[in-house]
């Protein structure tokens, strides 16, 4: 069976989160990074800033010279990690084979996913839609039969793009790729390739495996395969699942705690449905509720040792609402879970045991 690999990559992730939380930043050149008077460096910037030549890893002082109106915001890693976790939870709804590469990108192997009749294209579309709705940012995605091509595809139509490379189109697509698209081919290797007249994968394909190995050593074997669209690397989950949650943004703000409590049953039914599909290898250790108020401030409150009952969430919601006492635009509920097959998880489980259980 041909593999179906999706690569998802958030568009200007840190900057996108900041624009989501402060709509007044939309359409203005912004970046997230360190202060220019302290030798700060740009982590990421939006597309408006990129039009001036601003790029990641650029000194903040230089970025300001290129774009005097650039707004440089400090990092808020808590917000970015939360958004990353929300994205990952959406990925897990389609497959357990999720390989995070960073906070804002991941590979998914959806070969065994039955949703949308197994169509990687439709699965990728739905993932993009859900992230936009639930997280409030856009992601670009690529789908192909291997990791190499899926990652390249996700970068083709940024921002908010989706590029699919069907198996029958793989060879045609690969041959046109410049050698710079091959992971591991840096400036030095590109210069060496140029001297040999190698500029595209088509040029590489005209060389034998022996010739490529003579010029590029052990990397020659990899080049021989990639220029033919061959990438046998599997999607390897690097971490166990840590949480599961659902949330809803309301079309009209909820004005008081009574309205908030009335909104819980549908969310709870959705959460229990997802919990019922969870493998027995996971154990629930905490319940949590998330509230986003109408000023976009957010609070999350957790409790250890609950059974994820609606009464638990009602109490957590009351406590969380008291922290803001403002109209509510979003409510979420979820659980923290431990992987019992993970040695570290099994060790941590003891920390959550009630004294009477020991």
Active site residue 319: no
Q: Which CATH superfamily is domain 170-226 in?
A: 5' to 3' exonuclease, C-terminal subdomain (1.10.150.20)
- What is the model's pLDDT at position 347? 36
pLDDT at residue 344 tops 60? no
Alpha carbon distance 115, 105 (integer Å): 22
pLDDT at position 305: 67
Rounded CA-CA distance 194/219 in Å is 16
Residue 341 has pLDDT above 70, yes or no: no
Task: Work out the number of other CB atoms within 10 angstroms of the CB of residue 159.
Answer: 15
**pLDDT at 240 exceeding the cut of 90:** no
Measure CA 288 to chain center: 22
The H or E element spanning position 92 is helix 77-92
pLDDT for the residue 289: 93
Each domain of the chain, given as residue ranges in start order, spans 14-77, 170-226, 243-357
The predicted pLDDT at position 237 comes to: 82
Name the token pair of 45: 């910037």
Could you give the C-alpha distances from 64 to 49, 59, 96, in angstroms and in order? 10, 9, 43
Say if 14-77 and 243-357 have the same CATH topology: no
* Residues of the binding site: 9, 104
pLDDT at 306: 67
* pLDDT tens, position by position, 4-14: 999 999 999 99
User: How confident is the model over 214-225, as pLDDT tens digits?
Assistant: 999 988 999 999
DSSP letter assigned to residue 74: P
pLDDT, tens only, 252-303: 999 999 999 999 999 999 898 888 877 777 788 889 999 999 888 889 998 8
Per-residue model confidence (pLDDT) at position 354: 37
The tokens for 124 are 């990728």
User: Three-state DSSP class for 288?
Assistant: strand
The domain covering 243-357 belongs, at the CATH homologous superfamily level, to: DNA polymerase, Y-family, little finger domain (3.30.1490.100)
CA distance 5 to 151: 9
CATH topology assigned to domain 14-77: MutS, DNA mismatch repair protein, domain I (3.40.1170)
Cis preceding linkage at 345, omega within 30 = no
Known binding positions for Mg(2+): 9, 104
Of the candidates 96, 227, 94, 93, which has an alpha carbon nearest to the alpha carbon of residue 152? 227
Q: What is the DSSP string of 176-213?
A: T-BGGGSTT--HHHHHHHHHTT--BHHHHHTS-HHHHH
pLDDT tens digits along 102-119: 889 999 999 988 889 889
Among residues 18, 48, 99, 105, the one annotated as catalytic is 105
Q: Nearest CA to 253 among 294, 198, 202, 194?
A: 294
The dihedral of CA 70, 74, 78, 81: what is its sign?
Answer: positive
The answer to whether residue 358 scores a pLDDT higher than 80 is: no
Contact criterion met (CB below 8 Å) for 245 and 286? no
16-69 pLDDT, tens digit per residue, is: 999 999 999 999 999 999 887 777 899 999 999 999 999 998 999 999 999 999
Question: Is the model's pLDDT at 155 over the cut of 80?
Answer: yes
């Amino acid at each position: 069976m041909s593999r179906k690999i999706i690569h998802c990559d958030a568009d200007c992730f840190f900057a996108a989160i900041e624009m989501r939380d402060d709509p007044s930043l939309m359409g203005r050149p912004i970046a997230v990074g360190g202060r220019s008077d302290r030798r700060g460096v740009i982590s990421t910037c939006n597309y408006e800033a990129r039009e001036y030549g601003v790029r990641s890893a650029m000194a903040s002082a230089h970025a300001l010279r290129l774009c005097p109106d650039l707004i440089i915001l400090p990092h808020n890693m808590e917000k970015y990690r939360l958004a990353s976790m929300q994205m990952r939870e959406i990925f897990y709804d389609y497959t357990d084979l999720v390989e995070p590469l960073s906070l804002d990108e991941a590979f998914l192997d959806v070969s065994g996913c039955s949703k949308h009749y197994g169509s990687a294209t439709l699965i990728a579309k739905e993932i993009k839609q859900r992230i936009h709705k639930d997280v409030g940012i856009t992601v670009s995605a690529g789908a192909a039969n291997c990791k190499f091509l899926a990652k390249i595809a996700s970068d083709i139509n940024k921002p908010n793009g989706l590029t699919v490379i069907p198996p029958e189109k793989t060879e045609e697509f690969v041959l046109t790729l410049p050698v710079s698209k091959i992971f591991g081919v840096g400036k030095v290797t590109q210069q060496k390739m140029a001297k040999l007249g190698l500029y595209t994968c088509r040029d590489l394909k005209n060389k034998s495996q022996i010739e490529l190995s003579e010029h590029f050593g052990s990397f020659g074997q990899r080049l021989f395969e990639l220029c033919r669209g061959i990438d046998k690397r599997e999607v390897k989950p690097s971490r166990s699942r840590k949480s599961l949650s659902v949330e809803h943004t309301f079309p009209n703000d909820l004005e008081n705690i009574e309205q908030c409590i009335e909104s819980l049953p549908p969310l709870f039914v959705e959460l229990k449905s997802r919990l019922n599909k969870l493998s027995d290898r996971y154990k629930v250790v905490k319940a949590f509720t998330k509230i986003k108020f109408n000023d976009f401030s957010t609070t999350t409150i957790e409790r250890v040792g609950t059974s994820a009952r609606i009464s638990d969430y009602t109490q957590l919601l009351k406590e969380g609402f008291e922290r803001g006492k403002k109209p509510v635009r979003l409510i979420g509920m979820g659980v923290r879970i431990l992987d019992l097959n993970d040695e570290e998880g099994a060790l941590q489980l003891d920390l959550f045991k009630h004294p009477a259980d020991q």
